[in-house]
Amino acid sequence: MPIKKLRARPKKAKTAVLKKTAAVPVPAEEQKIRIGWFTFSCSEDNTVVMTEIMNDHWQEWKKMFDFRHVRMLKSHNILDALDIVFIEGAIASEEQAQKLKEIRQRSKLLVAVGACACVGLPAGQRNTFTEIQRAKIEHLVAKFAALPKVLKVAEVVSVDAEVPGCPMDPANFLRVVNQAVARVRAERRS
C-alpha cells in the first residue's frame, strides 16, 4: 500500500491586539539584590568555595541577585551602589585600603569572608616576624608598596558580618547570605 503524503491544512491567521500599557514598576523589595565579590591578599580559596556553592544555588540566585561586580563570573564588572559585598583577603597595601574604603562607601552591607579577611592570617603572617625576619623581607615590602602591617578588613572599614575559615564552611556562608538578604529586604520594605 503506497504511503500518502499528508498535507497540513493552512491555519487561519490570528491577529493579536496589542494594548499599550505603562510599565509597572517593580516594588523595591522585589528588585534584585546587587552583589559584589572582591578579593585582596589571600589564596582565593573562598572564591572557589563560593563558585561550588553556586552550582547548587544558581537557579534561585540568578532570579534574586544582580551580580554587579564578581570577576569570577563576568568580565565586565561595575562598581556602583551595591546591597551586599563580600570581601575576601587581608589588606596589605595602601592601594588596597583605599579600594576597600571605596567599596564600603558604595555598599549597604559588607561581609568579611575567610580567615585573611576576618583575622588577617595567614596572609598577615609577616606581622609576627622577628626583627631579623622583617629585615630579610624589607626589600619586598618596599617593592610592592606594602603596609608595615597586614590588616584584617575590620581594621580598615566597618564590617556587618563575618564568615571565618580557610576555606569557609559552606553552611555558615549560606546562613550569612540568607541573613544579609533578609536584612536588605526588610530595609527595602521600611
Q: Domains of the chain: which residue ranges?
A: 31-189
Cell numbers linked to 185? 529586604
The pLDDT assigned to 185 comes to 93
Give the predicted TM-score (pTM) of the model: 0.81
- The mean per-residue pLDDT over the stretch 133-152 comes to 90
Residue 17 pLDDT > 80: no
Residue 1 pLDDT > 70: no
Query: Do residues 173 and 163 touch, judged by C-beta distance below 8 A?
Result: yes
DSSP H stretches of helix in the chain: 45-64, 94-105, 115-119, 131-143, 170-189
Alpha-carbon distances of 144 from 5, 120, 131, 140, rounded to whole Å: 77, 18, 19, 6
pLDDT averaged over the chain? 87
The pLDDT assigned to 5 comes to 52
User: Which has more pLDDT, 123 or 97?
Assistant: 97
Unique residue bearing C-alpha cell 603572617: 125
CATH C-level class of 31-189: alpha beta
β-pair type (146-151, 91-93): antiparallel
What is the rounded distance in angstroms from the CA atom of residue 52 to the CA atom of residue 48? 6
- The mean per-residue pLDDT over the stretch 63-90 comes to 93
Contacts of 64 (CB under 8 A, 6+ apart): 32, 33, 181
Would you put residue 104 in left (φ > 0), alpha (ψ -120 to 50) or beta?
alpha
